Amino acid sequence: MVPVVSTVARIYKALNPPNVDPSPDSPPIKFGILGAAKIAPIALVDPAKCHPEAVVLAVAARDKTRAEAFAKKHGIPKAYGGSNGYQELIDDPELDAIYNPLPNGLHYEWTMKALAAGKHVLLEKPSANTAEETRKMFELAEKKNLVLLEAFHYRFHPATQRVKEIIDSGELGSVTSLSATLAVPRGFVKEGDIRFDYSLGGGALMDMGCYTLNCIRFLSGVDPTDVQDATALAHVFKTPPSSSEASLVDDTTTAHLAFPNSMSGAIMCSLGLTGWGPFSILPRWPEVAAHVQCEGGEIKLFNYPGSWAYHYITVSKRKGSGRIARTEKAYKPKNGKGEDWWTTYRYQLEAFIDKLKGRTPQHWISAEDSIANMEWIEKIYSKTGLGPRPVSSFVLS
């Protein structure tokens, strides 16, 4: 098949995965979803359909009709709704695990409640509004012997893993600098979106920047030592909200970070890249790449967040006064579990279920990793002058 046809066929299968029968030997992990969130179908519903040990049994939405419509559309047997719907979901004794794709500012409260109810949690990124809240969630999970995973799905994909493998192989020598971008053109994210609501933990650095930071921290293998500079452009609302805190929502943030061993890092994230050319009318493409400079060459991973749909890895190695370059693709691990059509979310679900079943996942994101990511988000926000996102008022009784 020509590449474009095979790519379309692979993406089609990824978005329409086959239904698999439940495993006769291993009871499925039964999930409940908090909120009829836009991300839930691709992040959990579809991956669960093609995992023999996962089933989505229930969904809750603030509005019962919305929960029922979501349940009907996705073949989910139970729907909870109304003012107590989220709590009823969490208290459902049939459920083993909760997927939390609520707005960032509600991650802490509902993850704490789910853990307190004895449920494992697959938690959307970024973990919470603050590092302290993230620490508390992981402490409770550990105390209750429950699995809590921040859903940085891209980490589980073979493409990201392959780049890390190339770096760690030493083929290109030591890393000298890293950068990652995640930015979408203006208009991509609509005005009333949770991403522009400060009270819900909005802002480009929270939404997109958490990936960029996570990516350079993962690929470098260490945490930064300092935020050298950070600049944020505030979002300009068409209809400015009455709250003065709306001015703390960043549209675009850039930061330069120092790393150990004289490594440097740079991130850029945006919820609204402006157009270019006369009067900025020419459209921009999303920016979705990670670059790693090494003493002996460089690596580019194009489309690390959406690597399942399409990506390429270019490895350019210095040789004498010239270079030798190659391009790799990694939709499936060379050794290990996976199919070329598995989405980043499907790989993530595999790891989550492996962990719950006592098997060793191919990859994992530790509590320390998630806490450190939030710490550095806070440090960058602090350097921009915008300050951290609001602390949750929730107290676990």
Ligand X SMILES: O=C1OC[C@@H](O)[C@H](O)[C@H]1O
Ligand Y SMILES: NC(=O)C1=CN([C@@H]2O[C@H](COP(=O)(O)OP(=O)(O)OC[C@H]3O[C@@H](n4cnc5c(N)ncnc54)[C@H](OP(=O)(O)O)[C@@H]3O)[C@@H](O)[C@H]2O)C=CC1
Residues in contact with ligand X by CB under 6 A are 184, 207-208, 305
Pick the piece of the chain touching ligand Y (CB under 6 A) from 5-13, 38-46, 112-120, 257-265: 38-46
Looking at the annotation, which residues are catalytic?
Answer: 125
Neighbours of 137 (CB within 10 A): 26
**103 binds, options ligand X, ligand Y, none, Cβ within 5 to 8 A by partner type:** ligand Y
Which residues share a beta bridge with 270? 183, 252
Nearest of 269, 276, 60, 311 to residue 184 by alpha carbon: 269
Least separation, in Å, of the C-beta of 251 and ligand X? 13
Least separation, in Å, of the C-beta of 268 and ligand X? 14
Residue among 184 and 290 whose Cβ is closer to ligand X: 184
CA distance 234 to 216: 24
Least separation, in Å, of the C-beta of 343 and ligand X? 12
CA distance 14 to 329: 16
Q: Specify the residue for token string 């789910």.
A: 114
**104 binds, options ligand Y, ligand X, none, Cβ within 5 to 8 A by partner type:** ligand Y
Nearest of 285, 289, 339 to residue 314 by alpha carbon: 289
- Residue type at position 191: E
Question: Judged by CB under 6 A, does residue 61 bind ligand Y?
Answer: yes
Question: Judged by CB under 6 A, does residue 140 bind ligand Y?
Answer: no
Total residues interacting with ligand Y, rule: CB under 6 A: 21
Cβ-based neighbours of 61, under 8 Å, separated by 6 or more: 35, 36, 67, 70, 79, 80, 81, 85
Pick the piece of the chain touching ligand Y (CB under 6 A) from 32-40, 113-121, 176-184, 215-223: 32-40
Give me the phi and psi of 90, to 5 degrees please.
-60, -35
Contact, 264 vs 225, CB < 8 A? no
Please identify which residue in 78, 125, 291, 383 interacts with ligand Y, judged by CB under 6 A: 125
Nearest of 163, 166, 157 to residue 338 by alpha carbon: 157
Residue among 38 and 73 whose Cβ is closer to ligand Y: 38
CA distance 328 to 223: 27
With CB atoms as reference, the residue minimizing the distance to ligand X is: 207
Least separation, in Å, of the C-beta of 36 and ligand Y? 4
**106 binds, options ligand Y, ligand X, none, Cβ within 5 to 8 A by partner type:** ligand Y
Least separation, in Å, of the C-beta of 205 and ligand Y? 12
Q: Specify the residue for token string 């194009």.
A: 302
Residue among 43 and 147 whose Cβ is closer to ligand Y: 43
3-state secondary structure of 213: helix
Pick the piece of the chain touching ligand Y (CB under 6 A) from 19-27, 60-68, 159-167, 313-321: 60-68
What element of type H or E holds 180? Answer: strand 175-185
CA dihedral 160, 360, 129, 182 (to 10 degrees): 10
Q: Are strands 29-34 and 97-100 parallel, antiparallel or unpaired?
A: parallel
Question: Judged by CB under 6 A, does residue 307 bind ligand Y?
Answer: no
Residues from 101 through 120 that contact ligand Y (CB under 6 A):
101-104, 106
Residues from 152 through 171 that contact ligand Y (CB under 6 A):
153
Least separation, in Å, of the C-beta of 120 and ligand X? 21
Residue among 48 and 172 whose Cβ is closer to ligand Y: 48
**209 binds, options ligand Y, ligand X, none, Cβ within 5 to 8 A by partner type:** none
Contact, 82 vs 17, CB < 8 A? no
Question: Which spans of this chain sit near ligand Y (rule: CB under 6 A)?
Answer: 35-39, 43, 61-62, 66, 101-104, 106, 124-125, 151, 153, 194, 200, 207
